[in-house]
Amino acid sequence: MLSPNSTNPPHGVPPAADGPAAIPAAATQTGAPPPDRIPRWLERLELFLRVMLRMYIGLAVCYAPWSHTFWDQNPIFLQFPTLSIIAANGAVRGLVSGLGLLNLWIALHDAMGHRDR
């Protein structure tokens, strides 16, 4: 039977660590400057892409329940008639469109509420 001390490293040897703690102190003190903050153009590009993606998804989700080719003739709805009956309900269509409008509102809120620092 092994004693509890047999699995511990010998004295003076630090235990192995993962992540940033595993980098030796000498390697982190090379005199390199700390990383700068994210460039402004990259922040704006990320904001633009995020807003455009949310607007696109919001418009698609708003339009989908009222599209006869996508909603009424959907292969999933045709395969499951009970699901088709539920999806044809006006309240369900309105709920899905409401989620699309919520997505559009979030996109516009992000676009209008962004301030440069």
pLDDT 10s digits, 57-82: 999 999 999 998 888 888 998 899 89
Q: Is residue 78 part of a domain?
A: yes
| pLDDT number for residue 36 | 77
* CA 81 from centre of chain: 33
Please tell me the pTM assigned to this model.
0.61
Q: Is residue 47 part of a domain?
A: no
User: Which residues contact residue 55 at a Cβ distance below 8 angstroms, ignoring those fewer than 6 apart?
Assistant: 103, 104, 107, 108
Whether the predicted pLDDT of 46 surpasses 90: yes
Q: Is residue 51 part of a domain?
A: no
In the chain, the number of structural domains is 1
CB atoms closer than 10 angstroms to residue 54: 19
| Boundaries of domain holding 102 | 62-117
Whether the predicted pLDDT of 25 surpasses 70: no
**Structure tokens that stand for 40 in this block:** 């402004």
Q: Is residue 49 part of a domain?
A: no
Q: Is residue 67 part of a domain?
A: yes
Q: Is residue 99 part of a domain?
A: yes
